[in-house]
Amino acid sequence: MDSSLQIISTPTADSPGTVVILSTAKQNYIFGSNSEGTQRTLTQAGAKIVKVKDFFITGRTEWSNMGGLVGMMLTLADSASTSYDTSMEQYRKKAMHKGHPEPPRPKMNVYGPPNLKHMLATCRRFIFRKGVPVEVTEYKNVAPGKANDGRVLPTWEDNSIKVWALPIAPTSRTPNTKQEAKLEAERAHFDKELNVFEELQASESENAADREARYDQIRTATLNHMFNSTWRFDTLVERHISEIEMPAAIFVRDPVTKHTHPYTGPLPGGKEPLPDITVLTRTPWPGALVRGLPPPAPAPEALSYIVRTHPVRGKFNPVRAKELGVKPGRDYSRLSQGETVKSEKGEDVTPDMVLGPDRPGQGFAIIDLPSVEYVDNLIQREEFVAKTVVEGVRLCVWILGPGLSGHSGLEDFMQMLGPQVQHIVSSRDSCPDRLSFDSVAAQTIRLGQIDGERYHVPFHDNTALPQKTIAGSSAFQVVPFKNIIPAERGLKFRIMPNFEMRRDGILPPLDVSAIQQNTPPEILDLAKDSLASIAQDSEALQAWTQLLSRPDTDVITLGTGSALPSKYRNVSGTLVRVPGVGNYLFDAGENTLGQLQRVFGPDELVDVLRNLRMIWISHLHADHHLGTTSIIKAWYTIVHNGVPAAEPLTIHSLASQTKNFSLAVISHEGMLKWLGEYAAVEDFGYSRIAPLEIKPVRHSQDTGSVLKFVPSSPFPKYDQFETVPQHHYEAILGLEDIQACKVSHCNGAMAVSITFPTTSSSTPPLKISYSGDCRPSEQFVHIGRNSTLLIHEATFDDELLGDAIAKKHSTTSEALGIGAKMDAKAVVLTHFSQRYQKIPVLQTIDNGEEADDLLDPNAMEDVQENEDEDVDEPDNMDVSTTTTSAVPHSAIPTDSALKGNGKGVETVIKVRSKDLKVAIAFDYMRVRIGDIAKLEKFNPALEKLFEREDVEGEGDEGAEGKGESDEKKNGNGKKVGVGGEGGKKKKSKRNN
């Protein structure tokens, strides 16, 4: 049976983990870390992951090692569901007359270190999938299982491979009695106040082992709610209104028409008396009822694996079979498969009589050592001296933490394994920080040739070792191992039937000069014309800049795609740097930290993080917040050296302790609860941040938003839940004001406007408004009035208005319409569903002309009071409980009914405001607000670039409904095959 192993990624700034794929005839397996960016790395490599059902995670349970697992599981769950639905449709057609077997239901298996279940279960507020069970297996630091004859048994096996899991604990583990007592108090609190599982309550006779088993069942049940729920969103049940627990969506049925509509009378818990009526409400989503998880104990184990294929039966000898009187044909096949048959004389012929000797299985080890504290316990693992385990192991992939390169103990251990074992080392000490995402890097290089002020070659270093990171260079002296090979992307090993290393698939470093030389001269000429036009219109451009407060404010678009990371656009993240005040991050999708490390060199990034004052998370869709933990931890490491706060922050010390708690995370309750719950797994800096819950403005009321302090203590006192006084905003956030409003997208989605202190009496203060994901909102227009800058999603081109309405997003013209109604000076469009959005060209009209209707009168979809506060709804669902002024379904125009300019890359939009300027965002763009007016000058060059790349077939079809080509290319355009798999396109359907 053929099997091969391929290295997909090595540690770099934006692909920090090491990922390998084991390919067999029947299925593929992923081994290694699943750090942020893993899914995008696999997409860039053209690796087909639809055949992957088993994930073997190495290392420890920490976000830097597993931050990409959640997004990948969501994508695979959606893909598996789609595939299963298609298979079932075909089965129903065939089964009626051919009796075909029913296709198996999809399933995912994840294997990893302790606390993996807890880490995944904390994500229940934003994961809801049906019919794709996920089975999670944790391997703890226990002695390996053995057979009666003393053989070390495999931990796991299927028809293709055997796996021995090697959980390794560090040698230096000092008991912390204070932490242990705190943990016991938190567990007692959970069992008394938070455990909602009636069948899993504590018994009086429960011992420690029984409690751990019960806690494991609770976490497993929670995961089942997340991935294999039978709950239906549209199921309504009748209850008396007095039995309803708020908040909840309440409906009544019209006795005449029998139609349901939202209930608008007095609510339970209010001051007005309740009517004596029966109402309709939803059966609560089970995940919404899980109030908390059992607090986990620290788990420092790091996981490694030994993997071997099964033995292969010996070669069939037809001559010997004929001599024994076996009839050729089916009996030959049965003997080859290990079955006994009858000869023509009626005698038994067994397989061993006609088969040669079995060929033993071959395999590899993948060893993950985070630090030197793990070396001794690794060397002492008995699996490495058990012949039945290591026989046939020809390859060892080492994933090493800093300072382990050249470790003498590991050097001796490598020699002990024998000369037949090839050693591959993947670490920041052995692998340079090369560009991982060739496609977007090449695109940025070309954009830099057109507009060198806004786009630069992504930061990288193809040679320096050890890598320089935001933590600085390695404090250890790096001594290379002898006789090892550094890991490289595309390096491949044939495991069976014969071991062989293949280097022909290795991707060379991106050749920046080759890409630049390949740019057509006509594009470069147009870029020169753009610069000349800017110089010619310098007075008008400067006059526009004079309208702005703080024009040197930088906007860095880190991720400009939607739903799924693609080769050219990462998921949402926008950084705003206000000189003299601080830095503000609007949403932090997966791998936002990696994007920052490509935009800024290590030294500058340290300054960016040190001055980070606020992270705003608009809603709990995974593509908007899965990078938050990594950002906080990087800030925590730089600002506080990874040392937790000695005393918890309180509302009374919030304004005076900004030196110790200088980073605020502002969102709604669900996001802050997730961060607090995950902090039980890993100290990522939660004790040092200021978690602030924002209460949105009320619909059509000038009440204003308020910030509520959310204490980090597991047993908060009542007085800690006080409102943050607005006169403290400047000390805490550097802001004069912050206002948020609900928007129509999903449960809890909000848009925000932040206003900075005034610097000049001649210009309004700097005001930045950010939409997150949403349909157009009148309430957002209200809070964003007179914005200096509007950052608005434009997921769909205007021709796809029907899709925008259905998926609760905005079109390009709708986003610009919001900017015009706000009287914003500049609009940055982002969150695109495809690689190249049509470039809006704004044409200022005279008084006699008619402006384009950017916003349909019925386009505004404001969320009414209490409409989306239905805790029964999972935050990540692609449907909403809101009842809005949306266009009825019958009024949604089809694509063919909408006007558009077909295949062009430009769309002309007539507007009345001569001061409104617009920028189309690409990843890695750095633009000062005062320079946004210049960007339209580069449109001709951009149009020519996009036309050329579309003709060459290099376009990216994006994440919404279309996928990436499985054909693999490096950044220089060279095609490279991946695992011998074909070039069909795969589809995914994440509608975030």
Number of Cα atoms under 13 Å in the Cβ half of residue 112 = 29
Closest among 14, 75, 25, 264 to 991, alpha carbons compared: 75
pLDDT class of 772 with cuts at 50, 70, 90: very high
Class of domain 524-950: alpha beta
Closest among 627, 530, 345, 418 to 937, alpha carbons compared: 530
> What's the pLDDT score for residue 87?
85
pLDDT class of 845 with cuts at 50, 70, 90: low
> What's the pLDDT score for residue 871?
43
* Structure-model confidence comparison of residues 656 and 545, the more confident one: 545
Lowest mean pLDDT among 2-6, 130-134, 370-374, 537-541: 130-134
Tell which phi-psi region holds residue 591, choosing left (phi > 0), alpha (psi between -120 and 50) or beta. Answer: left
User: Which fold does the domain 3-173+300-309+359-502 belong to in CATH?
Assistant: Metallo-beta-lactamase; Chain A (3.60.15)
pLDDT tens digits along 734-746 = 999 999 999 999 9
Closest among 251, 258, 300, 302 to 277, alpha carbons compared: 251
pLDDT tens digits along 297-329 = 999 999 999 999 998 888 889 999 999 999 999
Q: Is residue 135 over pLDDT 60?
A: yes
b/e map of 360-372 (b: 16 or more CB within 10 Å)? ebbbbbbbbbbeb
- Is residue 706 within a helix (H) or strand (E), and if so which, with residue range? strand 706-709
Asked if 767 contacts 735 with a C-beta cutoff of 8 angstroms, the reply is no
Report the alpha-carbon angle 991-124-672, nearest 5: 95
| Residue owning tokens 């809006």 | 840
Structure tokens at 392: 């046939």
Lowest mean pLDDT among 43-52, 91-100, 153-162: 91-100
Residues of the chain with CATH 3.60.15.10: 3-173+300-309+359-502, 524-950
- Is residue 279 within a helix (H) or strand (E), and if so which, with residue range? strand 278-282
- The pLDDT of 571-579, averaged and rounded, is 98
Q: How many CB atoms lie within 10 A of CB 256?
A: 6
**Residues 487, 123: Cα–Cα separation, whole Å:** 33
> What's the pLDDT score for residue 981?
38
Closest among 564, 569, 670, 672 to 615, alpha carbons compared: 672
Report the residue count for the chain.
992
> What's the pLDDT score for residue 473?
59
> What's the pLDDT score for residue 879?
34
Report the alpha-carbon angle 272-278-281, nearest 5: 95
3-state secondary structure of 736: coil
Lowest mean pLDDT among 477-481, 522-526, 581-585: 477-481
**Residues 186, 80: Cα–Cα separation, whole Å:** 38
pLDDT class of 211 with cuts at 50, 70, 90: very high
Structure tokens at 583: 């830095």
**Residues 478, 398: Cα–Cα separation, whole Å:** 16
> What's the pLDDT score for residue 98?
64
pLDDT tens digits along 8-41 = 999 999 999 999 999 998 899 999 999 999 999 9
3-state secondary structure of 783: helix
Closest among 420, 429, 424 to 502, alpha carbons compared: 424
pLDDT tens digits along 531-545 = 999 999 999 999 999
Structure tokens at 20: 């390998």
How remote is the C-alpha of 237 from its chain's centroid? 35
Q: Is residue 899 over pLDDT 50?
A: no
> What's the pLDDT score for residue 979?
43
**Residues 880, 874: Cα–Cα separation, whole Å:** 10
List alpha helices for 310-418, DSSP H: 318-323, 330-336, 375-379, 387-390, 408-416
For the chain, percent of residues with pLDDT exceeding 70: 87
* Structure-model confidence comparison of residues 269 and 135, the more confident one: 135
pLDDT class of 872 with cuts at 50, 70, 90: very low
pTM flag (> 0.85): yes
**Residues 530, 631: Cα–Cα separation, whole Å:** 37
Asked if 669 contacts 693 with a C-beta cutoff of 8 angstroms, the reply is yes
**271-280, 768-777, 970-979: which has the highest mean pLDDT?**
768-777
Helix axes 521-536, 538-545, angle to 10 degrees: 70
- The pLDDT of 747-761, averaged and rounded, is 94
Asked if 718 contacts 728 with a C-beta cutoff of 8 angstroms, the reply is no
Asked if 681 contacts 122 with a C-beta cutoff of 8 angstroms, the reply is yes
Structure tokens at 159: 């028809």
3 state SS for 181-215: HHHHHHHHHHHHHHCCCHHHCCCCCCCHHHHHHHH
b/e map of 563-588 (b: 16 or more CB within 10 Å)? bbbbbbbbbbbbbbbbeebbbbbbbb
Helix axes 602-610, 628-640, angle to 10 degrees: 90
**Residues 310, 802: Cα–Cα separation, whole Å:** 53
**78-87, 232-241, 567-576: which has the highest mean pLDDT?**
567-576
**Residues 8, 34: Cα–Cα separation, whole Å:** 12
> What's the pLDDT score for residue 841?
74
> What's the pLDDT score for residue 911?
72
Rounded alpha-carbon distances, angstroms, from residue 106 to 58, 228, 617: 24, 10, 32
**Residues 603, 157: Cα–Cα separation, whole Å:** 47
Q: How many CB atoms lie within 10 A of CB 128?
A: 24
Asked if 166 contacts 381 with a C-beta cutoff of 8 angstroms, the reply is yes
**Residues 387, 365: Cα–Cα separation, whole Å:** 14
Asked if 222 contacts 293 with a C-beta cutoff of 8 angstroms, the reply is yes
3-state secondary structure of 482: coil
Question: Who's near 179: CB < 8 A, 6+ residues apart?
Answer: 298
3-state secondary structure of 779: helix
Please state whether the peptide bond connecting residue 874 to the residue before it is cis, i.e. omega within 30 degrees of 0: no
* Structure-model confidence comparison of residues 949 and 160, the more confident one: 160
pLDDT tens digits along 163-205 = 999 999 999 777 888 889 999 999 999 999 999 999 999 999 9
Q: Which amino acid is at 84?
A: Y
